[in-house]
A and B are shown apart, each in its own frame.
Chain A
Amino acid sequence: EVQLVESGGGLVQPGRSLKLSCAASGFTFSNYYMAWVRQAPKKGLEWVATISTSGSRTYYPDSVKGRFTISRDNAKSSLYLQMNSLKSEDTATYYCARQFSLHWFAYWGQGTLVTVSS
Protein backbone atom coordinates (compact mmCIF):
# COMPACT_ATOMS: atom_id res chain seq x y z
CA GLU A 1 0.00 0.00 0.00
CA VAL A 2 1.34 3.39 -0.99
CA GLN A 3 1.81 5.65 2.01
CA LEU A 4 2.98 9.27 2.06
CA VAL A 5 3.36 10.95 5.44
CA GLU A 6 4.18 14.65 5.62
CA SER A 7 5.71 16.44 8.58
CA GLY A 8 7.32 19.74 9.48
CA GLY A 9 4.39 22.13 9.22
CA GLY A 10 3.61 24.76 11.81
CA LEU A 11 3.42 28.46 12.56
CA VAL A 12 6.21 30.60 11.12
CA GLN A 13 6.75 34.34 10.85
CA PRO A 14 6.82 36.11 7.50
CA GLY A 15 10.28 36.14 5.97
CA ARG A 16 11.41 33.06 7.86
CA SER A 17 12.11 29.54 6.59
CA LEU A 18 10.59 26.10 7.07
CA LYS A 19 11.43 22.65 5.76
CA LEU A 20 8.78 20.04 5.09
CA SER A 21 9.44 16.31 4.86
CA CYS A 22 7.54 13.43 3.34
CA ALA A 23 8.23 9.79 4.21
CA ALA A 24 7.23 7.38 1.47
CA SER A 25 6.58 3.65 1.71
CA GLY A 26 4.82 0.86 -0.15
CA PHE A 27 6.52 1.47 -3.51
CA THR A 28 9.98 1.87 -5.05
CA PHE A 29 10.49 5.55 -4.31
CA SER A 30 13.39 6.06 -6.70
CA ASN A 31 11.24 5.05 -9.69
CA TYR A 32 8.79 7.93 -9.42
CA TYR A 33 8.62 11.65 -9.88
CA MET A 34 7.44 13.32 -6.69
CA ALA A 35 5.67 16.60 -6.06
CA TRP A 36 4.25 19.07 -3.58
CA VAL A 37 0.77 20.52 -4.03
CA ARG A 38 -0.79 23.04 -1.66
CA GLN A 39 -4.26 24.19 -0.71
CA ALA A 40 -4.91 27.48 1.03
CA PRO A 41 -7.71 27.40 3.62
CA LYS A 42 -11.08 26.95 1.89
CA LYS A 43 -9.40 27.39 -1.51
CA GLY A 44 -8.44 25.24 -4.48
CA LEU A 45 -5.35 23.24 -5.34
CA GLU A 46 -2.04 24.75 -6.48
CA TRP A 47 0.96 22.82 -7.79
CA VAL A 48 4.13 23.88 -5.96
CA ALA A 49 7.04 21.74 -7.17
CA THR A 50 8.07 18.53 -8.92
CA ILE A 51 11.32 16.57 -8.85
CA SER A 52 12.51 13.88 -11.25
CA THR A 53 13.42 10.36 -10.19
CA SER A 54 17.13 11.09 -9.72
CA GLY A 55 16.62 14.62 -8.49
CA SER A 56 18.48 16.11 -11.42
CA ARG A 57 15.46 18.03 -12.69
CA THR A 58 13.15 20.27 -10.70
CA TYR A 59 10.13 22.30 -11.74
CA TYR A 60 8.32 25.20 -10.06
CA PRO A 61 5.58 27.71 -10.84
CA ASP A 62 6.57 31.38 -10.79
CA SER A 63 4.77 31.90 -7.46
CA VAL A 64 7.48 29.96 -5.55
CA LYS A 65 10.45 29.88 -7.94
CA GLY A 66 13.58 31.18 -6.21
CA ARG A 67 12.06 30.79 -2.73
CA PHE A 68 11.21 27.08 -2.53
CA THR A 69 13.52 24.12 -3.21
CA ILE A 70 12.34 20.56 -3.66
CA SER A 71 14.78 17.72 -3.01
CA ARG A 72 14.78 13.99 -2.36
CA ASP A 73 16.84 11.29 -0.69
CA ASN A 74 16.18 8.03 -2.53
CA ALA A 75 18.14 6.02 0.05
CA LYS A 76 15.72 7.21 2.72
CA SER A 77 12.59 7.24 0.51
CA SER A 78 12.07 10.83 1.55
CA LEU A 79 10.98 14.03 -0.15
CA TYR A 80 11.63 17.53 1.11
CA LEU A 81 10.49 21.09 0.52
CA GLN A 82 12.70 23.91 1.75
CA MET A 83 10.65 27.09 1.94
CA ASN A 84 12.44 30.41 2.35
CA SER A 85 11.24 34.02 2.52
CA LEU A 86 7.79 32.84 3.48
CA LYS A 87 4.81 35.09 2.85
CA SER A 88 1.30 35.14 4.31
CA GLU A 89 0.00 33.86 0.96
CA ASP A 90 2.05 30.67 1.45
CA THR A 91 -0.33 29.69 4.27
CA ALA A 92 -1.80 26.36 3.17
CA THR A 93 -1.95 22.64 3.70
CA TYR A 94 0.97 21.12 1.80
CA TYR A 95 0.47 17.70 0.24
CA CYS A 96 3.20 15.34 -0.85
CA ALA A 97 2.20 13.44 -3.98
CA ARG A 98 3.52 10.67 -6.17
CA GLN A 99 3.39 11.88 -9.73
CA PHE A 100 3.20 10.21 -13.11
CA SER A 101 6.16 11.98 -14.72
CA LEU A 102 5.31 15.69 -14.98
CA HIS A 103 1.62 14.91 -15.32
CA TRP A 104 -1.03 13.80 -12.83
CA PHE A 105 -0.81 13.12 -9.11
CA ALA A 106 -1.63 9.48 -8.47
CA TYR A 107 -1.27 9.30 -4.68
CA TRP A 108 -1.48 11.98 -2.00
CA GLY A 109 -0.44 12.25 1.61
CA GLN A 110 -2.68 13.55 4.38
CA GLY A 111 -1.07 16.99 4.28
CA THR A 112 0.73 19.25 6.75
CA LEU A 113 -0.48 22.75 7.60
CA VAL A 114 1.85 25.72 7.25
CA THR A 115 0.69 29.02 8.74
CA VAL A 116 2.69 32.15 7.96
CA SER A 117 1.77 34.88 10.41
CA SER A 118 3.36 37.30 12.82
Chain B
Amino acid sequence: DIQMTQSPASLSASLEEIVTITCQASQDIGNWLAWYQQKPGKSPQLLIYGATSLADGVPSRFSGSRSGTQYSLKISRLQVEDIGIYYCQQASSAPLTFGSGTKLEIK
Protein backbone atom coordinates (compact mmCIF):
# COMPACT_ATOMS: atom_id res chain seq x y z
CA ASP B 1 0.00 0.00 0.00
CA ILE B 2 1.09 3.58 -0.69
CA GLN B 3 1.60 5.58 2.51
CA MET B 4 0.94 9.31 2.59
CA THR B 5 2.87 11.18 5.31
CA GLN B 6 1.25 14.55 5.93
CA SER B 7 2.71 17.44 7.92
CA PRO B 8 2.25 19.33 10.09
CA ALA B 9 -0.50 17.69 12.13
CA SER B 10 -1.70 21.11 13.24
CA LEU B 11 -0.99 24.65 12.25
CA SER B 12 -1.92 28.02 13.67
CA ALA B 13 -1.48 31.02 11.38
CA SER B 14 -2.52 34.67 11.17
CA LEU B 15 -5.00 36.10 8.70
CA GLU B 16 -3.42 37.01 5.33
CA GLU B 17 -0.45 34.76 6.12
CA ILE B 18 0.90 32.22 3.64
CA VAL B 19 0.25 28.61 4.76
CA THR B 20 1.87 25.48 3.36
CA ILE B 21 0.91 21.85 4.05
CA THR B 22 2.92 18.96 2.67
CA CYS B 23 2.42 15.27 1.87
CA GLN B 24 5.13 12.77 1.15
CA ALA B 25 4.21 9.67 -0.87
CA SER B 26 5.99 6.41 -0.07
CA GLN B 27 6.43 5.72 -3.80
CA ASP B 28 5.98 7.40 -7.16
CA ILE B 29 2.36 8.44 -7.75
CA GLY B 30 3.00 10.93 -10.55
CA ASN B 31 0.37 13.66 -10.47
CA TRP B 32 -2.28 11.36 -8.97
CA LEU B 33 -2.78 13.44 -5.86
CA ALA B 34 -5.77 15.30 -4.48
CA TRP B 35 -6.32 17.72 -1.60
CA TYR B 36 -9.53 18.09 0.40
CA GLN B 37 -10.81 20.61 2.92
CA GLN B 38 -13.15 19.58 5.71
CA LYS B 39 -14.73 22.47 7.56
CA PRO B 40 -15.99 21.84 11.12
CA GLY B 41 -19.07 19.61 11.10
CA LYS B 42 -19.12 19.35 7.29
CA SER B 43 -18.27 16.82 4.60
CA PRO B 44 -14.89 16.98 2.86
CA GLN B 45 -14.67 19.03 -0.33
CA LEU B 46 -12.26 18.60 -3.21
CA LEU B 47 -9.81 21.49 -3.51
CA ILE B 48 -7.05 20.30 -5.83
CA TYR B 49 -6.80 17.32 -8.19
CA GLY B 50 -4.04 16.10 -10.43
CA ALA B 51 -1.61 17.65 -7.91
CA THR B 52 -2.02 21.17 -9.33
CA SER B 53 -5.52 21.65 -10.82
CA LEU B 54 -8.03 23.76 -8.90
CA ALA B 55 -11.48 22.21 -8.46
CA ASP B 56 -14.55 24.17 -9.55
CA GLY B 57 -15.44 27.05 -7.27
CA VAL B 58 -12.25 26.91 -5.21
CA PRO B 59 -10.69 30.34 -4.57
CA SER B 60 -7.49 31.09 -6.45
CA ARG B 61 -5.58 31.63 -3.19
CA PHE B 62 -5.34 27.82 -3.03
CA SER B 63 -2.67 26.13 -5.12
CA GLY B 64 -0.96 22.77 -5.36
CA SER B 65 2.54 21.80 -6.39
CA ARG B 66 4.74 18.75 -6.71
CA SER B 67 8.44 18.04 -6.31
CA GLY B 68 9.19 14.39 -6.93
CA THR B 69 7.12 12.46 -4.39
CA GLN B 70 6.50 15.50 -2.19
CA TYR B 71 3.29 17.45 -2.68
CA SER B 72 2.32 20.81 -1.24
CA LEU B 73 -0.89 22.74 -0.73
CA LYS B 74 -0.43 26.49 -0.39
CA ILE B 75 -2.93 29.06 0.82
CA SER B 76 -1.56 32.40 -0.30
CA ARG B 77 -3.56 34.68 2.01
CA LEU B 78 -5.26 32.89 4.87
CA GLN B 79 -8.91 33.81 5.44
CA VAL B 80 -11.12 33.00 8.41
CA GLU B 81 -13.27 30.67 6.26
CA ASP B 82 -10.20 28.49 5.59
CA ILE B 83 -10.20 26.95 9.06
CA GLY B 84 -10.69 23.20 9.10
CA ILE B 85 -8.81 19.99 8.45
CA TYR B 86 -6.96 19.38 5.20
CA TYR B 87 -6.26 15.93 3.78
CA CYS B 88 -4.17 14.71 0.89
CA GLN B 89 -5.08 11.53 -0.99
CA GLN B 90 -3.10 9.42 -3.39
CA ALA B 91 -5.21 8.55 -6.41
CA SER B 92 -2.65 6.41 -8.21
CA SER B 93 -3.61 2.88 -7.20
CA ALA B 94 -5.88 0.92 -4.90
CA PRO B 95 -6.08 0.86 -2.00
CA LEU B 96 -6.62 4.61 -2.20
CA THR B 97 -5.08 6.20 0.88
CA PHE B 98 -5.31 9.53 2.65
CA GLY B 99 -2.86 11.51 4.71
CA SER B 100 -3.59 11.82 8.41
CA GLY B 101 -4.80 15.40 8.12
CA THR B 102 -3.65 18.91 9.08
CA LYS B 103 -5.81 20.95 11.42
CA LEU B 104 -5.61 24.61 10.49
CA GLU B 105 -6.54 27.30 12.99
CA ILE B 106 -6.39 31.06 13.06
CA LYS B 107 -3.86 32.56 15.46
Contact = CB atoms under 8 A, between A and B. Distances in A.
Interface of A: 37, 44-47, 50, 59, 61-62, 95, 100, 102-111
Nearest to B99: A44
A111 B32 CA distance: 25
Contacts, number: 56
Contacts of B70: none
A105 B99 CA distance: 14
B43 interface: yes
A106 B55 contact: yes
Nearest to A93: B43
Interface residues on B, range: 20 to 34
Contacts of A47: 95-98
Contact of B45 (A44, A103, A108): A108
Q: Which 6 A-B pairs have the closest CB atoms?
A: A103-B91, A104-B34, A61-B95, A47-B96, A108-B43, A45-B98
A2 B53 CA distance: 20
Given A47-B96, A104-B34, A105-B89, 15 more contacts: A44-B87, A44-B98, A44-B100, A45-B44, A45-B101, A47-B98, A61-B95, A103-B32, A104-B46, A104-B91, A106-B46, A107-B46, A108-B43, A108-B45, A110-B43
A111 B14 CA distance: 31
B80 interface: no
Interface string B69-105: 0000000000000000001010100111111110000
Given A45-B87, A47-B98, A62-B95, A104 B49 contact: yes
A59 B94 contact: yes
